[in-house]
Structure formats: structure tokens, C-alpha cells
Structure 1
């Protein structure tokens, strides 16, 4: 199993500099942020300009990977693939296809994305659109020898009221997704932290969906049960401090939250998971600058590495 992190958390660094840093810490993989060069998404990054990727750049990147002993676990591009604006949706699709082509050129096995949601349509209508779009996208990925995966985040920050803005955040939706697009090349980038704050049993999900879990995001969360019982399952609605402020949960570095990673890893072993395990750094306390981000990554590395390598 390869251990890494999502690269977008480190800003104003080249991809080679990130590989060098990862190697120095002890990481063996990177989940490479591949948003468009011009974008306004939070937690995004553009470490590879996939739409203009040249053969010379591919050669250079592969050489750097060998130099620093770093695999790419995935190329990451997470936007609302079901955006209600047809022109925006077409732009997102074209960029995701460029990410898939780049992954093939680089020998990267996985591409991560979101489903998103069209808030002007019903859930059934969204799934009808999803089936058409993702049947095409998964087929395109297969043609390029890449697997496509969805992260199970509800994206409450995309909606003013903080309600879910994807149709892929729960087992109910996963069952519908895989019924509509049954290809074995379509799966999950499994993030237990979102399941935890939604009060879904992530260990049970890890077991039940083991054949669809291609990649695991190591992200932790603190759930304030007292505030949960105050705000309820739909979360805080007044005086929110930021987009994701639902009042009762906070994303944190692994080891500083509620998830028992030793228990989690035991289930990973039980199901035979041996793919990619990758820190997704969204802890606002370690985000003011790259030095703080690195402190967070290294804390998480020092907490998780002994667990997943079973150091005595």
C-alpha cells in the first residue's frame, strides 16, 4: 500500500518541489491536484496543466517520479459535473476528459471527481442525467486505461443553505450510482470523515463496498454531539462563519479527531485493501502558510505511518 497526500494543500510550489518534500518526509505517493489553471475553488490546485500537457513535460514528470520514488495515486479534479448551466457542465466534462488523458500518459491508474447535483431538478432527474454523463465518462476512462472514482462528500459549501450538493454521499446513492453505471472501472475515493459527521457507520461501509473502494482519503473529523443535538441533522443555518460551517463538525488532521485509525486500518486489512491511502489536508488550524500545512501533513504522517506499517 502506498501512502501519500492530496497536493493542492501546498500552494506556490512546483510539482517537483512537492515530490521532493513528500520523499523527504517518507511519503511514497501523491494524489495530484489537476484543476484548470484558472479556477476559484477552495482546496483546489493545478499541479499539472492537463489541457496543455506536452510529451516533454510527461517525460520530465516521470523522471522526477523516479528520482523521488513517488507514484501518483490519482489525478484529482472535483467540480459539479451536473451543474445546471449546460455550458459550464460541458467545460467541466472537457476538463475531466483532459485529466483522464493525462493520467493515461503518466501511467496513473485513477482519476477522482465528484458527481455534483443540479439543484433545479429532482433526485431522479439528476440520476437520469448522471447515467448518461457518467456512462460516457467511464467508457472514455476505460478507453484510456484509467479508472474513475467519486469522493463521497456531500459538498454543503456549494449550497447557501448548507444542504447536500452531490448525489454521491451515502450508501443509498452509491447503490443507485453502481446500478446505473455498473462498470468495474467505476468506484469510490472513500473518505470516512464525511460518513462520520453524517452518523453513517464508515467501518460497515468499508466492508460492504470493498470491491468499489479504489482509494482512501485519510481525513479526520471532530463531531460535537451536543451541537449536533442543537442544530439537528441539517446543521446550522444562521450566522455561519464559512461555507462549510454546519455548527457540529470540523475537519481535522488524522490523529486529532474522532476516527480510531488503528481500528480503521484493521478493517482495511480485513478487506484486503492494498491500494492508495492519502491524506486530504483540510484542517484550518494548519493552513495559514505552507509551513503550517507541512506541520499538519507531518503530524498526520507520524500518526498514521506506524499504524499502516504496523511498527512495533
Structure 2
């Protein structure tokens, strides 16, 4: 199993430097952040300028992959593809198509994205728009030899008061997603941490959606039950520190939270998961500079790597 991390967490390194670092630690793959160069999203990155990618750059990237023995599990670009402002939406759409095309040129099997939501419209209208838009994305991905996957994060920071900013966070919604777009080239980037704080059995979901899970994010979180009592499932409403501040749960690096990774890996083996496993580092205690980020990545590598090798 290839084991890597999402590259956007390292803000002050080039992609070749990240490949070199990953190889030195023992990682075998990278989930490459491919947001536009000009963006303000947190946890984003622009390690490949997909909109201006040329054949010389493709060859250089492939040479560095070979040099450092690193594969790319996915190209990652997560924005609101149902953004209400149609001018902004078009920019997002154009960039996602460029990411998919770049994945095809680089031989990367997956592109990860969000669906998003138009908060001004009903859920039924959103699903209708999703079906029209993403059917075209999936077809374009297939034409480029790529599969498209959706991460199951609810993106509570995209709407006021912490409500979901995308409708791809639960099994109920996944079923409707796949009913409307049944293509085998369309699946999930599975993140157990969000399922857990939402009260969804992530082990059962791993089993139930095994045929739709293309890639797995290793991210952990801590639920503080005393704060849950204060804020409820809808989360903190007053004095929020940032968009994702629900008050009762905190994202942390794998090994420092509530996810039972030993059990999780046993079920990965049970379902014969053959995709990549990738740390998504969003632990604010190991952030602010690349030295701290590396400390977090290396802690999680040393925690998870023995579990992975036990089940090889």
C-alpha cells in the first residue's frame, strides 16, 4: 500500500523538495495540492501550476518522481463547485478541468474535489445542478484516463453558523450522489474523522462503500463530550475562532485522536482496499511553519507505518 500525505501542509517548499523529504522519511506517495496560484483558502497549496502545465514541466515532474521513487496518489483541488456567484463558479470549474487534464498528462489516476452547495437554493435544486455539472466532469475525467472522487467533509466554514457547505458528508447523501451519477469512475476520498464527529459509524461506512472508496485520508479528531453538551450537534454559534470552530471537536494528526486506526486498518484489509492512504495534516498545534508541520507528519508516519506493514 502506498502511504503519503497531502502536500499543501508544507507551505515553504517546492514540489521537488517535498518529494525528496517524503522519500527520506519513508513515504511512497503524495496527494498533490493543485489550487490556483492566487487563492485565499486555508490548507490549500499550488504545487503544480496546472493551468500553464507544458510538456517540459510534465517530463521534469516525472523525472523527479522517478528520482525520489514517489508516486502521486491524486491531484487535489477542493472548492465549492456550486458556488452561487456564477463568475466565481466558472473560475472554479475551469480550474478543476485543468486539474483533470493535468492528471491525465502526468498519469495520476485520481482527482479529488468537493461538490459544494448553492446556499440560496433547495437541496433538490442543488442535486439537479450537481447531476448536470458533475456528469460532465466525470465524462471529461474518463476521457483523460482519470477517476473523480469527492471528500466527505461537510465544510461547515462555507456557511454562516457552521451548517454544511456541501452535501456529500453522509451515506444518505452518497446514495443519492451515486444514484444520479452511477459511473464507476466516480467515488469517494474517504475521511473517517468527519464521519466520527458527525456520529456516523466510520467502520460500517468503510465496509458498506468499499466499492466506491478510491482513496483514504488519514486524519484524526478529538470530540470533547463536555463541550458537546454545551454546544450540541449543531456546534458553537457565538465567539467562533474560525470557520471550522464547532466548539466540541478538533482535527488532530493521526495517533493523537479518537480514531481506532488498528481496527480501521484491519477492515481495510478485510475489504481488500488497494488504493492509497494519505495523511491530511490539519492539526493547528503542528502548524505555522514547516518545521512544526514536519514534526506532525513524522509523528503520524511513525505511528501508522507499523500498522500498515503488519497487514501487508
Deviations 1:44-83, CA, capped at 9 Å, x for gaps: 0000000000100000000000000000000000000000
Q: Report what 1:209 is aligned to.
A: 209
Q: Give 1:89 deviation, angstroms.
A: 1.0
Match of 1:250, SS state, is strand
Contact 2:81/2:115, CA 8 A, preserved across alignment: yes
Q: Give 1:90 deviation, angstroms.
A: 1.2
1:240 aligns with 2:240: yes
Q: Give 1:268 deviation, angstroms.
A: 0.3
Runs of 4+ aligned structure 1 residues displaced above 3 Å come to: none
Q: Distance in 1 between matches of 2:177 and 2:281?
A: 27
Q: Report what 2:52 is aligned to.
A: 52
Q: Report what 1:27 is aligned to.
A: 27
Question: Is there any run of 5+ residues in structure 2 with no aligned partner, and where?
Answer: none
Q: Give 1:161 deviation, angstroms.
A: 0.8
Q: Report what 2:116 is aligned to.
A: 116
Match of 1:210, SS state, is coil
Q: Report what 1:7 is aligned to.
A: 7
Q: Report what 1:18 is aligned to.
A: 18
1:304 aligns with 2:292: no
Deviations 1:151-207, CA, capped at 9 Å, x for gaps: 000001111211000010100110000001100000000000000110100000000
Match of 1:42, SS state, is coil
Match of 2:161, SS state, is coil
Match of 1:161, SS state, is helix
Match of 1:309, SS state, is helix
Q: Give 1:88 deviation, angstroms.
A: 1.1
Q: How many residues align?
A: 312
Q: Report what 1:68 is aligned to.
A: 68
Q: Distance in 2 between matches of 1:171 and 1:281?
A: 24
**What do you get for the CA RMSD once the two structures are aligned?**
0.9
TM-score, normalised with respect to structure 2? 0.99
Q: Distance in 2 between matches of 1:228 and 1:115?
A: 28
TM-score, normalised with respect to structure 1? 0.99
Q: Give 1:311 deviation, angstroms.
A: 8.0
Contact 2:220/2:251, CA 8 A, preserved across alignment: yes
Match of 2:204, SS state, is helix
Q: Distance in 2 between matches of 1:306 and 1:230?
A: 38
Match of 2:215, SS state, is strand
Q: Give 1:270 deviation, angstroms.
A: 0.5
Q: Report what 1:77 is aligned to.
A: 77
**CA distance 1:311–1:186, shift in 2 (3 Å):** closer
Q: Distance in 2 between matches of 1:255 and 1:13?
A: 25
Deviations 1:91-149, CA, capped at 9 Å, x for gaps: 11110000000000100000000000000000000000000000000000000000000
Superposed counterparts of 1:279-298, under 5 Å: 279-298=279-298
Superposed counterparts of 1:84-123, under 5 Å: 84-123=84-123
Q: Distance in 1 between matches of 2:69 and 2:276?
A: 15
Q: Distance in 2 between matches of 1:210 and 1:245?
A: 31
Q: Report what 1:36 is aligned to.
A: 36
Superposed counterparts of 1:248-287, under 5 Å: 248-287=248-287
**CA distance 1:86–1:266, shift in 2 (3 Å):** same
Q: Give 1:229 deviation, angstroms.
A: 2.0
Q: Report what 2:227 is aligned to.
A: 227
**CA distance 1:46–1:230, shift in 2 (3 Å):** same
Question: Is there any run of 5+ residues in structure 1 with no aligned partner, and where?
Answer: none
